[in-house]
Structure 1
Amino acid sequence: MLGHKRIPSREGGIEIVVEELSTRMVALGHEVTCYNRGGHHVSGREFDAGKPDAYKGVNLKSVLTIDRRGLAALTSSFFAAFRVAFGKYDAVHFHAEGPCAMLWLPKLFGKRCVATVHGLDWQREKWKGGFASKYIKFGEKVAVKFADEIIVLSKGVQNYFKQTYGRETRFIPNGVNRPEVIEANLITENFGLIKDSYILFLGRIVPEKGLRYLVEAYRKLNTDKKLVIAGGASDTDDFMNEIKALANGDDRIIFTGFVSGQTLEELYSNAYIYTLPSDLEGMPLSLLEAMSYGNCCVVSDIAECAEVVEDRAVVFKKSDETDLRNKLQMLCNDSELVRKYKSEATEFICKKYSWDDVVNKTMELYRGK
């Protein structure tokens, strides 16, 4: 597998998917190698965790990477594809559209190649209008032409490939684990948070997550619930600084930075509401995780979120600050409604999305079934 940043790591949704797939495949008796990027953690070198050779039985190889914005994915996928082309692998799994620009190389050497499109990355704000966007779109076209199978995570993206290229794809959504809900300890000590005292956003701090109008909507709420924005910047601190400037003067808004481990689990376990106001998503693993912890969720009406939650969460009109504010205020005023959504969330999401199903369906594609 290649195209991710690093495992074990929670630098993004792709890394979670690669970790779940690879470790579960190893547990089933298969040999799996993941090609990790070099360079530093996306949220800063203080989160670097070294370069292990293995993780839960998965072979890890670090590839040469130019650790600069726009070049890291390009260079790491080039060198990883070159190495796997000459490796003794039965299947090569590319993750994300940009890395797929090199998919033709292992295909040239007779490898069976599968690509997972985690989202239409060329649409993301940070890449728009530049070389990176064109390169990612090129990777999309290479996958269409050369991949033996393309996996998509939403019906919307499946329709896009059919309408744009006439290419059939396989719809295999992500999975989720059933977690253990834990009490607030670290988050109380570090941020003054207790159970049901905050609205949570947890994800990468990037423009397409809708954070601009989340902050604006929240500042107009009549509530004593705090807003917790948990996550690290991606590639640049510019947008993080913009969001902090928008929040300036409202001491109810807390920025935790990148979180993992017990702190992450406590944030999910004790939120009053989880919100994901995204304009663009692939398939948001943070939403699946939030629901698995039994959260009442508020999400935008983009297909990638609405398809996940169905009628088990509150949905607002994408990019509509007023509608978001009204939905949040409604829930802040109605704790019984929040409890209703919470009571249904875990069972619904854990039955709907299973990592075991994802692994089995992916293995079938490797075998050409």
Structure 2
Amino acid sequence: MRILMIGHKYVPSREGGVEIVVENLATRMASLGNEVLIFNRKRKDYPQINEYKNCKVENIFTINKKSLDAVVYAFFATLKARKLIKKKQIDVVHFHAEGPCLFLNLLPKKRKTKIVVTIHGLDWQRGKWGGFASWILKRAEKKAVKYADEIIVLSKNNQEYFKNKYQRKTTYIPNGVEKAYLHEAEIIKNEYNLEKDSYILFLARIVPEKGLDYLIEAWKKVRNEITTNKKLVIAGGDSHSTEYYQSIIEKVKNDDSIILTGFVEGQKLQELYSNAYLYVLPSDIEGMPMSLLEALSYGNVCLVSNIPENTEVINENCFVFEKGNIDRLRHQLKKIINLKIKTHEDMIIPYTWEEVTNKTLDIYRGK
């Protein structure tokens, strides 16, 4: 099959969950003999490439500005897809996330090409977008419902949403995760003086909907109530939320119990997962959190907000608290620190990328 991927920022990248999903699907599909084309965004801060792991890559024009980047890319990517469809050069166009679906109505109505959309979460709910941007994202969601041949959702909660609001049938295919291998604390020991079980880890994009404000406030209360040598490590970069990221820096700058690492990848990322005492994800909104899946694959004990997208994937060794309830988060953190739990014993892989790839290919084939 000839497959086109649209909607991410850049491959290869760990900038967000969409990028991880596109990279894993595209490269695995290519390894199975499919012709895969990836539309990266053409930006100054992204190296321009033409090939990646047997996938062809085209760099699509955009404007490097928060308010215009995604919509400009989506417009030109959709126009390019339209040309390929008209020339019968593509069998499947797979859009990722709601925003890139804004121009689906521009695609040919009479076509043999299948249009597939993966909903990575209800993007219009995310705190980083203002009122007008949220309205645009809701329009894009409706375009996906109207024009997509197939819609894939990552959570049962989102599946119910599309059924109840639009009476639209969707297919539930969760994100995958690779088998993890534990690493001793080397880089993180040298850079941050971190050792096994010496810290609590938050690892995600630094954006409002991840609930980091709750965690910082709850952590400071815990530190006032009990004596502990543990640190809170906040790992992640901003995603169109520079002002919010700066506000987090201001909140933690005078607290030596909090370490802000910035964006991490490679061995440093692996070491952070491998040696954390507890992984915390206090999100208000998720699609299906890649960082939580990865934390589970490393055997982390996890503490998460009780939104369905989180509770669908955790196991019996994990803890929950009421979304947005700082006092309950404080209570759970304090309890878990005092429990002296054993970590990294049960390395859970809920879904493999091979399973996810095969299920997605079945959607392409109409099975």
Which residue, out of 53, 58, 64, partners 2:50? Answer: 53
Deviation at 1:74, TM superposition (A): 0.6
Q: Which residue of 2 aligns with 1:256?
A: 261
Q: Which secondary structure state, in structure 1, belongs to the residue aligned with residue 250 of structure 2?
A: helix
Q: Which residue of 1 aligns with 2:184?
A: 183
Which residue, out of 108, 111, 114, partners 1:112? Answer: 114
Q: Which residue of 1 aligns with 2:95?
A: 94
Q: Which residue of 2 aligns with 1:242?
A: 247
Which residue, out of 292, 301, 306, partners 1:296? Answer: 301
| C-alpha distance in structure 2 between counterparts of 1:225 and 1:109, whole Å | 61
Q: Which residue of 1 aligns with 2:26?
A: 22
1:153-202 alpha-carbon deviations (Å, 9 max, x no partner): 11111111011111010011001111111111111111111111110001
Deviation at 1:135, TM superposition (A): 1.1
- Consecutive aligned runs of 4 or more in structure 1 exceeding 6 Å deviation: none
1:231 matched to 2:236? The reply is yes
Question: Does the 8 Å contact 2:43/2:62 carry over to 1?
Answer: yes
Deviation at 1:26, TM superposition (A): 0.7
1:85 matched to 2:82? The reply is yes
| C-alpha distance in structure 2 between counterparts of 1:360 and 1:29, whole Å | 13
| C-alpha distance in structure 1 between counterparts of 2:220 and 2:153, whole Å | 37
Q: Which residue of 1 aligns with 2:38?
A: 34
Deviation at 1:101, TM superposition (A): 1.1
Deviation at 1:107, TM superposition (A): 4.5
1:284 matched to 2:286? The reply is no
| C-alpha distance in structure 2 between counterparts of 1:109 and 1:74, whole Å | 25
Deviation at 1:230, TM superposition (A): 0.4
| C-alpha distance in structure 1 between counterparts of 2:352 and 2:67, whole Å | 33
Moved more, 352-361 or 59-68: 352-361
Deviation at 1:81, TM superposition (A): 1.1
Q: What number of residue pairs does the alignment pair up?
A: 354
Deviation at 1:109, TM superposition (A): 5.7
Deviation at 1:242, TM superposition (A): 1.4
| C-alpha distance in structure 1 between counterparts of 2:164 and 2:246, whole Å | 39
The correspondence of residues 113-262 of structure 1 with structure 2, limited to 5 A, is: 113-130=115-132, 132-221=133-222, 222=226, 223-262=228-267
Q: Which runs of 5 or more structure 1 residues have no equivalent in the other structure? A: none
Question: Does the 8 Å contact 1:107/1:146 carry over to 2?
Answer: no
Question: Does the 8 Å contact 1:229/1:255 carry over to 2?
Answer: yes
Q: What is the identity, as a one-letter code, of the residue corresponding to 1:8? A: P
Deviation at 1:289, TM superposition (A): 0.2
Question: Does the 8 Å contact 1:300/1:318 carry over to 2?
Answer: yes
Deviation at 1:235, TM superposition (A): 1.5
Q: What is the identity, as a one-letter code, of the residue corresponding to 1:225? A: K
Q: Which secondary structure state, in structure 2, belongs to the residue aligned with residue 364 of structure 1?
A: helix
Change (3 A) 1:147 1:332: same
TM-score, normalised to structure 1, is: 0.93
Q: Which residue of 1 aligns with 2:312?
A: 307
| C-alpha distance in structure 2 between counterparts of 1:104 and 1:92, whole Å | 14
Deviation at 1:342, TM superposition (A): 3.6
| C-alpha distance in structure 1 between counterparts of 2:153 and 2:321, whole Å | 25
When the two chains are superposed, the root-mean-square deviation of aligned CA atoms in Å is: 1.3
Q: Which residue of 2 aligns with 1:4?
A: 8
Q: What is the identity, as a one-letter code, of the residue corresponding to 1:307? A: E
| C-alpha distance in structure 2 between counterparts of 1:59 and 1:23, whole Å | 10
1:24-68 alpha-carbon deviations (Å, 9 max, x no partner): 00111101001001225xxxx4xx4x1111111111110000111
Q: Which runs of 5 or more structure 2 residues have no equivalent in the other structure? A: none
Q: Which residue of 1 aligns with 2:73?
A: 76
Q: What is the identity, as a one-letter code, of the residue corresponding to 2:289? A: P
Question: Does the 8 Å contact 2:124/2:134 carry over to 1?
Answer: yes
| C-alpha distance in structure 2 between counterparts of 1:204 and 1:59, whole Å | 28
| C-alpha distance in structure 1 between counterparts of 2:241 and 2:163, whole Å | 34
Q: Which secondary structure state, in structure 2, belongs to the residue aligned with residue 184 of structure 1?
A: coil
| C-alpha distance in structure 1 between counterparts of 2:55 and 2:300, whole Å | 32
| C-alpha distance in structure 2 between counterparts of 1:13 and 1:74, whole Å | 19
Question: Does the 8 Å contact 1:106/1:113 carry over to 2?
Answer: no
Deviation at 1:240, TM superposition (A): 1.3
Deviation at 1:79, TM superposition (A): 0.8
Q: What is the identity, as a one-letter code, of the residue corresponding to 1:17? A: V
Which residue, out of 342, 345, 355, partners 1:343? Answer: 345
Q: What is the identity, as a one-letter code, of the residue corresponding to 1:30? A: N
Q: Which residue of 2 aligns with 1:324?
A: 329
Moved more, 107-116 or 13-22: 107-116
Q: Which secondary structure state, in structure 2, belongs to the residue aligned with residue 135 of structure 1?
A: helix
Deviation at 1:310, TM superposition (A): 4.2
Higher helix share: 1
Deviation at 1:125, TM superposition (A): 1.0
